[in-house]
Structure 1
């Protein structure tokens, strides 16, 4: 029978014995391997998308060289590196690949922290630094050697790729490496509750933006279909264009959210907002075919959607703290996080598309969402939450003082009884000492009759001999 034993180098630990924590060098090596794996998976995913688009296009030759040449620009675009195509600026980059890359990096960093049992902020710093540096190097090299007709600035590529990877890795290791606990200790539980509530508000706002996009596409179905027929006739070309529209769908959701908030958006000479609409010539793209040509008064009802998100946020925060002012702090933190997320999303969603500029006013959108969300949330959280208990009346205080006085008197009486019991116990302890002579006299009296009996029962030897020598008496005859 074979007996399994640990190896000499300790790769297999004994049952029930926890593995030792990884050293700093082991953490760096493992983080580097994970970073390279994330880069490779992202590149392969970009190549798969390019190959799928080329396979559906007519008269397109699918080759390894062509797919590799198209995968590098898409990977850079996923990390939001601005590109140029034949000298024309491509600043409006799709957000869906960026979301996929962030989720992949965060998941990989979180899995690394779980496997290595990382629990300290210093461990998180090593993982984030290694992930960021690896993406900086690879992003700078790909931007420098990207194949024409694409081009990118190496410095911009390095900084953008490293920043996206570092932020994603930080989100992945935040909970396991104690960053969440550190935030709680530094800023309190209210800030952490605000961060959790902001996540719900952001999901609600994103759902509202997606609803507006779906309604716009449904109402402009004829224009969208005509755009598909003009740009990509046939099933293969149409499938590739559908995939491209899906990649830009988050950009459309951000623009629709800006429309709902009242700040609106612009594309060249076209301006769209609930208050006014300015028509113009837009590029031939199916998502842009859903833009309206004229406004309507009914669009003002769209402003109720962010108010509804604020009401939901207030309802979520209503039990965050017993005190109303503390609940307002939670609402303020959540609204600030929502505004910051909207600011970043609007900055990433817009950009130049050749001679046309897609404008999503990031600052105006952040301020508008903060106001629309924070005001109703504060009202709901203040009114719907628990109230502190009222203080006792003065009569209750007098009763309490009377009870305390009676209790003190009872305690004083109890102390006097205890003192009397102690004195009685001391007297009882002294009585046995006085009773000792009486006990000795009783013992002496009991011993005296015994000695007298012993003296009466004693017979001398001479008397005994005389009694034995005397003849027995004869019985008298009758």
Structure 2
């Protein structure tokens, strides 16, 4: 079963690459995919392309190629994750396996022993396949004059497979249970950070679509000039689709401010350096002049994302606000409001910086080298765009509970206050890690409740006495 989980992604990815190469070659040359020349060419070309799909840097014709397509790499990662999850579930269902009846019990102590062998097997097989594929790239056997370092191929392919398999088995291995043990503000910050990263990438995709539609005529002319026949056109379409996520990441970096560069061509909302662009349809992203007048509006998206994070992480009720007792200091309320926003900013920054690092790389040794989406500036920009407006919104936001009686401050009744204080130690989600309710607060709340009850009793006695006096004026 472990062999199936580890070998199937390697075989399926290589077969998919070979089939695509055979179809493109056949449509371009007029031969059938089953013919011996086309099949041999596809089998030889599939080796370096399999390495490129696994993000292994190549050297083609003596020049480096480090800008590798993210779309097929994402497909391989999803395939590995799905098969790894399926393998863990099937292993758990075997009789005699510890945790065999854990299909409805994802405790980490019963599932970790099942996930580790799956991740290790998948990583080992992909690393071995990467080393073997790099060793087979010789001038005598390779159809494409490509070369790769066996050590780098094994490391990169094994790491990609290990991370994908770990993501697949995270759920069955009890990641949800581990996340629930984290402080509530950490879990909320992680979720908000992932959502902010997704929103930023979605904005980059929308920007890329707008630019491509605005330059639709230039894109069509590029296709007609580079790929006039059906076979080369299909190959160009596949190449553009494979690099489409790279372009989306570059557009997201442009929205954040750092921008991107292709050789000497630099594109950013604050400035641009035009120059020679590669003859590809995706080159419509590259500037041919100074930034447009609306370029400053691009900063509205990260500003809106940061403000939304602060709004979502702001206190939603009096139970989320520190300062109920006299021993609480205002600084504690400030820290409690800001710290989940900082976690969200750091999470989104790390995710987008990793994507930026994978989207760029070397592109030959000519005027288009290198393709740069700066990971460090992207990390700092994301943290700034989320932390600053998010912290301001979180600090200014008030609890959303409606004030009693239409007044500006919410006043809780004495029994409700006593019930809230007595329930605080029992509700783990309302008390963050390290925040303990002081005994002085309990005593003060109890005294307040008793005083309120006594006041209500005195008011009742006075009302009854007034009624008696009204009924019998001589008693006055």
Residue 450 (structure 2) pairs with residue 400 (structure 1) = yes
Q: Which residue of 1 aligns with 2:215?
A: 220
Distance across 2 between alignment mates of 1:215 and 1:145: 43
Post-superposition Cα deviations, 1:81-134, rounded to whole Å, max 9, x if no partner, equal 001111121111100011111111111111122222364223222221111111
For residue 247 of structure 1, the aligned residue among 242, 245, 256 is: 242
Residue 163 (structure 2) pairs with residue 167 (structure 1) = yes
Q: Which residue of 2 aligns with 1:101?
A: 76
Distance across 1 between alignment mates of 2:170 and 2:399: 32
Query: Could you tell which deviates more after superposition, 309-318 or 63-72?
Result: 309-318
Q: Which residue of 2 aligns with 1:306?
A: 302
Give the match's secondary structure for 2:64. strand
Q: Which residue of 1 aligns with 2:340?
A: 330
Residues 303-452 of structure 1 mapped to structure 2, 5 A cutoff: 303-318=299-314, 322-323=320-321, 325-355=335-365, 356-384=369-397, 386=399, 397=447, 400-401=450-451
**Shift in Å at residue 202 of structure 1?**
2.1
**Shift in Å at residue 184 of structure 1?**
3.8
**Shift in Å at residue 59 of structure 1?**
5.7
**Shift in Å at residue 334 of structure 1?**
2.0
Q: Would you say the 8 A contact 2:5–2:118 is kept in 1?
A: no
**Structure 1 residues 399 and 378 mapped into 2: Cα distance closer, same or farther (>3 Å)?**
closer
Distance across 2 between alignment mates of 1:327 and 1:103: 36
Q: Which residue of 2 aligns with 1:432?
A: none
Distance across 2 between alignment mates of 1:395 and 1:167: 51
Q: Which residue of 1 aligns with 2:287?
A: 292
Q: Would you say the 8 A contact 2:205–2:251 is kept in 1?
A: yes
When normalised by structure 2's length, the TM-score is 0.73
**Shift in Å at residue 160 of structure 1?**
0.2
Distance across 2 between alignment mates of 1:406 and 1:196: 46
**Shift in Å at residue 404 of structure 1?**
7.6
When normalised by structure 1's length, the TM-score is 0.73
**Bigger Rg over Cα:** 1
**Structure 1 residues 283 and 403 mapped into 2: Cα distance closer, same or farther (>3 Å)?**
closer
**Structure 1 residues 61 and 402 mapped into 2: Cα distance closer, same or farther (>3 Å)?**
closer
Distance across 2 between alignment mates of 1:397 and 1:97: 66
Query: RMSD between aligned alpha carbons?
Result: 2.8
Q: Which residue of 1 aligns with 2:473?
A: none
Q: Which residue of 1 aligns with 2:262?
A: 267
Distance across 1 between alignment mates of 2:253 and 2:31: 38
Give the match's secondary structure for 1:84. strand
Distance across 2 between alignment mates of 1:232 and 1:406: 88
Distance across 1 between alignment mates of 2:156 and 2:345: 27
Distance across 1 between alignment mates of 2:286 and 2:237: 18
Distance across 2 between alignment mates of 1:121 and 1:380: 40
**Shift in Å at residue 183 of structure 1?**
4.2
**Shift in Å at residue 297 of structure 1?**
2.8
- Which structure 2 residue ranges, 5 or more long, are not aligned? 93-98, 100-109, 322-332, 402-409, 418-443, 458-476
Post-superposition Cα deviations, 1:147-185, rounded to whole Å, max 9, x if no partner, equal 241111100000001100110111111121123323443
**Structure 1 residues 115 and 292 mapped into 2: Cα distance closer, same or farther (>3 Å)?**
same
Distance across 1 between alignment mates of 2:47 and 2:195: 35
**Shift in Å at residue 230 of structure 1?**
1.8
Q: Which residue of 1 aligns with 2:40?
A: 65
Q: Which residue of 1 aligns with 2:183?
A: 188
Q: Which residue of 2 aligns with 1:256?
A: 251
Give the match's secondary structure for 1:282. coil
Distance across 1 between alignment mates of 2:185 and 2:448: 38
**Structure 1 residues 85 and 383 mapped into 2: Cα distance closer, same or farther (>3 Å)?**
same
Q: Which residue of 2 aligns with 1:112?
A: 87
Q: Would you say the 8 A contact 2:211–2:284 is kept in 1?
A: no
Distance across 1 between alignment mates of 2:446 and 2:183: 36
**Shift in Å at residue 253 of structure 1?**
0.5
Distance across 1 between alignment mates of 2:296 and 2:452: 65
For residue 134 of structure 1, the aligned residue among 125, 133, 154 is: 125
Q: Which residue of 2 aligns with 1:154?
A: 150
Q: Would you say the 8 A contact 1:57–1:240 is kept in 2?
A: no
Distance across 2 between alignment mates of 1:74 and 1:398: 74
| Residues matched between the structures, number | 377
Q: Would you say the 8 A contact 1:121–1:179 is kept in 2?
A: no
